[in-house]
Amino acid sequence: MKTLKTHIPWLDTLLPEGIPYPSSTLISGPGGTGKPLVEFAFISAWLKANGSLIAIPLQYPTPDLMQTAMEKLYNVDLKNYANKIAYIQFDPHTETCEKLNNNTVKANMVKPGVWDQAVIMAEKMIEKSDLGTMVFGSALNLLLFSTKYQNSILTKLKDIAQNDKSTTYAFAVSTSAYEDKIKILEEAADNLMYTRVEKPMKLFFKISRMKQVKFLNKEVQVPISKEMLEDIRDVAESTRKKRIPEIRKIK
Domain range enclosing 171: 2-248
Position 121 scores a pLDDT of: 97
Query: How many domains does the structure of the chain reveal?
Result: 1
Question: Sign of the CA dihedral 203, 28, 128, 105?
Answer: negative
251 pLDDT tier (thresholds 50, 70, 90): confident
The CATH number given to whatever domain includes residue 60 is 3.40.50.300
The string of pLDDT tens digits covering residues 109-119 is 999 999 999 99
Is pLDDT above 90 for 198?
yes
pLDDT at 32: 86
Give the per-residue pLDDT at 239.
83
pLDDT, residue 14, reads: 98
The predicted structure's pLDDT at residue 236: 80
Each residue's pLDDT tens digit, 146-156? 999 999 999 99
pLDDT in tens, 36-95: 999 999 999 999 999 999 999 998 877 888 898 899 999 999 999 999 999 999 999 998
- Residue 181 clears pLDDT 80, i.e. is over it: yes
Q: Are 79 and 94 in contact (CB under 8 A)?
A: no
